[in-house]
Amino acid sequence: MRLTRQTNYAVRILMYCAANDGKLSRIAEIAAAYSVSELFLFKILQPLVENKLVETVRGRNGGVRLGKPATDISLFDVVRVTEDNFAMAECFENDATECPLVDSCALNEALRKALGAFFEVLESYSIDDLVKARPSMRDLLGIADLPPRVAAAN
């Protein structure tokens, strides 16, 4: 199984926001830190905002920040909202009628268990865990060099 680039950068956005200690982060700053386009990050933000993992603040001093504490956002939460398909094999898909074993296949059962174990591991890691695992993350992302920006509470 391979996660999409969208999921990869969704996690990176959340890590950046968590490392920024609740302050607002501009998409331009995040894009520069990861050397990707702002447009790409804006596309990724939509499902994160819709699922309240990120909140946006409009205006001249606006930006993005986590929608809830980093300790409450698991990797599974991110994967669930950014991945379209978890089919590890053709028989996982709804229209898999070509195989006569589809309802009683041991391979299907093994793959479902493997996917369940994968989800369990993702559920056991929070965004906070990822950020705290690298104490120098603020420096690596260039956050330490940015002037502090805090918007008024909504």
Per-residue pLDDT, 36:
95
**Beta strands 54-57; 63-66: pairing state:** antiparallel
Residue 120 lies in a domain: yes
pLDDT along the chain (154 residues), means of 10: 90 96 91 94 95 92 93 97 80 64 75 91 96 87 68 48
Compute the distance between CA of residue 133 and CA of residue 110 in angstroms, rounded to an integer.
32
Facing residues of 56 across strands? Answer: 64
Residue 94 lies in a domain: yes
Per-residue pLDDT, 152:
46
Residue 152 lies in a domain: no
Residue 145 lies in a domain: no
- What is the value of pTM for the model shown? 0.83
Per-residue pLDDT, 7:
95
Residue 12 lies in a domain: yes
Per-residue pLDDT, 112:
84
CATH number, residue 91: 1.10.10.10
Residue 113 lies in a domain: yes
Residue 88 is part of which domain span?
5-140
Asked whether the CA dihedral 21, 22, 24, 30 is positive or negative, the reply is positive
Residue 154 lies in a domain: no
Residue 125 lies in a domain: yes
Domain count, the chain: 1
Facing residues of 66 across strands? Answer: 54
